[in-house]
Structure formats: structure tokens, C-alpha cells
Amino acid sequence: MKKGIREVEVTIPADYPLKGTLALPSGAEGTVPAILLVAGTGKSDRNGNGGGIDMNIYQELADHLTRLGYATLRYDKRGTHQSEGSYDEAGFWDYVADARACVRLLKSRPEIDASAVAVLGHSEGAMIAPASFAEEPVAGMILLAGTAEDGESMLTSQGKVAIRELEESKGFKGFLIRLLGIPNKARKQNAKLFATIRSSTGPTLKYRGVTLNAKWFREHLAFDVKDSLPSVTCPVLAVTGEKDIQVPPQDVKTIAELVAGEAEWKVIPRMNHILRAYDGTHSMLGVLKEYKTLLNEPIMPELLDTLADWLARHLPAGSPVTEPAAPAERLAE
């Protein structure tokens, strides 16, 4: 029988039912270790697609890990795509609760070795994973493109970079930006927005005609991952790209120093926040344009090799899939 991947559609019993895909290595004998993929900020689906940007980050990671012999679970976030609940009213701690529910599902599955479940968090997922550990411990943790800052500091830093880019704009465009005082207006608007969010009490608020998820913003601004990292006692791998403009690449060293478990860290040259190689000029204002130019590019092979090496040492699986994967067999439960 040709080796491949068997995908099972599952329902995760969280506060609101979540829909996900459990991928299993075909032909595996006995139980297998499993890895939960926790996504970053935004309305992306279980594969990492949404908002007009189809990155397939989590689909690609899941396929790679499953071919190494691991089961993987990826899921639609609360209130998005096939999952129930309200995305506009979901807070940071709701996402933490959902991640814990996913870990519990994996531990309960007959195909999974409950003592060998790990979590891989990307971007905001790298904040959610440590926050979920205390109440739902796992055997390993991989943090990709994570931060060691609190939420407010991180968003403030990103805002400062964007404003500095406005101030340094060249030519007639730069002249107009400075003439109109746009950088100073942006600073005042950011400060007003943060103050409005902090003083809010409801799940949503209207700001300049836009409905914002005030609950998520309040909890995200207040959350400091440095408070959660010391409680993580399992082995940890922290990896960030040298070209990541959304989080400071040097934070991976801080993450590794803060966790209680054995930790390794790595900064991968040329890799950006969406785990692709990027050789262009960085711009916070043009980051979405940057990402759109890379949609057809694969995740960096060096990252995939790093994951395989670390997992082989800390969460060994059975025989990997050595032949090209057959079309995934999709089953519903």
C-alpha cells in the first residue's frame, strides 16, 4: 500500500464546537505522537488562509510533520469558517481555552500517544501555547515567530516602526506627509485608540466607524508572555526569522532563557514572519504587499529541517513517510 496521509474531519468540544482536521500518517502501527498547530492573529482558516491572503502555512506545516510520522491537528478559530461562536467577541483567553480543548481531544484519541502530545504555536499562537500549558501540560512546545514582550509593548513597537517609515518617506510623497503632519496625527490616534480600548468594558466598540473586538484588544494588550513562560517545563524550541519585521528576532533567546524546560533557539537567515525567504527591503507599512508576493513560495527548508531534527530528539515518531504522499483520504466523524 502506498504510504500517505489520512485526514479526518473532527469536532473539538470547546466552549463552542470547533471544526478541525486531524491528519494521521497512513500505515502507522500503534499510537503516534501528535502536534497541535495554533494559528496567529486574524480570521485565517485551519490552513492559514484568510483576508485575501492564502498562505497555507498550517497546511504545509501539517503535511511536513505528518510525513515525519506525527499526527497533526489544525482547526478553524472560534467564530470563523466552520467553527461556531463569535469571532468579533472572542478574547485572547478564549483562544487559550480553545487550544486546551484541542490538546484534550488529541489526548483522548485512540490513535494518539497521550503522553507524546506537543503544541506548535505561530505568531499569536506562540503566546497562546505557553498560556495554555499550566492547565493542560504537553510533552513539547515549538514557538515560531513568537515574542517575549507584552501585547501593548509589541503593538506599540510596530506602530512606532510604521510612523518612522512615514517620517522617512522620500520625494514629494514624503514632503506631503510631513506637511500635513500625518506622523504626529498617527501618534495621537494610536494613543487615543489604546486609551479607548483600556477604558472599554464590552466585547466590542465602535472606533472611527469601525467595529473592533475590544475584549481581544484589552486582553492582548494586558497579556505578558513572560509571566507564562517560566511555568513551561517541557522541552521548547523557539525559532524566528532574521527578516521578521513583526516581532524582534532576538526575542527567541529571551524565550529560551525564561522557560523552565530544556530549550533551544534559532534565528533563521532570510526568513520572515510567514516563514518564507525574503530578500527585499522591509516595510511595516508594506508588509501585506510583501506577504502577497510570497504566496507561491514554500516554507523555508531550513525551518522544516530544524523542526525534524528537534522532534527526532525530543518527541521521536515511528517510520516517516518516505514515498510521495498519496492524495489525502478525507473522512468525517
Read off the pTM: 0.89
Please indicate, yes or no, whether residues 176 and 119 belong to a single structural domain of this protein: no
Please indicate, yes or no, whether residues 194 and 113 belong to a single structural domain of this protein: no
**Mind listing the pLDDT tens digit for each residue in 253-287?**
999 999 999 999 999 999 999 999 999 877 766 68
Separation between Cα atoms, residue 100 and residue 104, nearest integer Å = 6
Query: Which of residues 196, 215, 234 is at a domain's end?
Result: 215
8 Å CB contact between 106 and 71? yes
Please indicate, yes or no, whether residues 276 and 185 belong to a single structural domain of this protein: no
Q: Residue 168's pLDDT is what?
A: 59
Question: Which residue carries 509593548 as its cell?
Answer: 153
Helix or strand or coil: residue 236?
Answer: strand
Q: Which of 41-50, 120-129, 235-244 has the lowest mean pLDDT?
A: 41-50
Please indicate, yes or no, whether residues 73 and 185 belong to a single structural domain of this protein: no
Domain range for 188 is 154-215
8 Å CB contact between 101 and 41? no
CATH number at residue 33: 3.40.50.1820
Please indicate, yes or no, whether residues 233 and 99 belong to a single structural domain of this protein: yes
8 Å CB contact between 145 and 255? no
Please indicate, yes or no, whether residues 46 and 72 belong to a single structural domain of this protein: yes
Please indicate, yes or no, whether residues 38 and 145 belong to a single structural domain of this protein: yes
Among 317, 327, 303, which Cα is nearest to 69's?
A: 317
8 Å CB contact between 248 and 241? no
Query: Which of residues 197, 215, 233 is at a domain's end?
Result: 215
Torsion over CA: 51, 39, 229, 69 (sign): negative
Domain total in the chain = 2
Q: Residue 146's pLDDT is what?
A: 98
Please indicate, yes or no, whether residues 92 and 15 belong to a single structural domain of this protein: yes
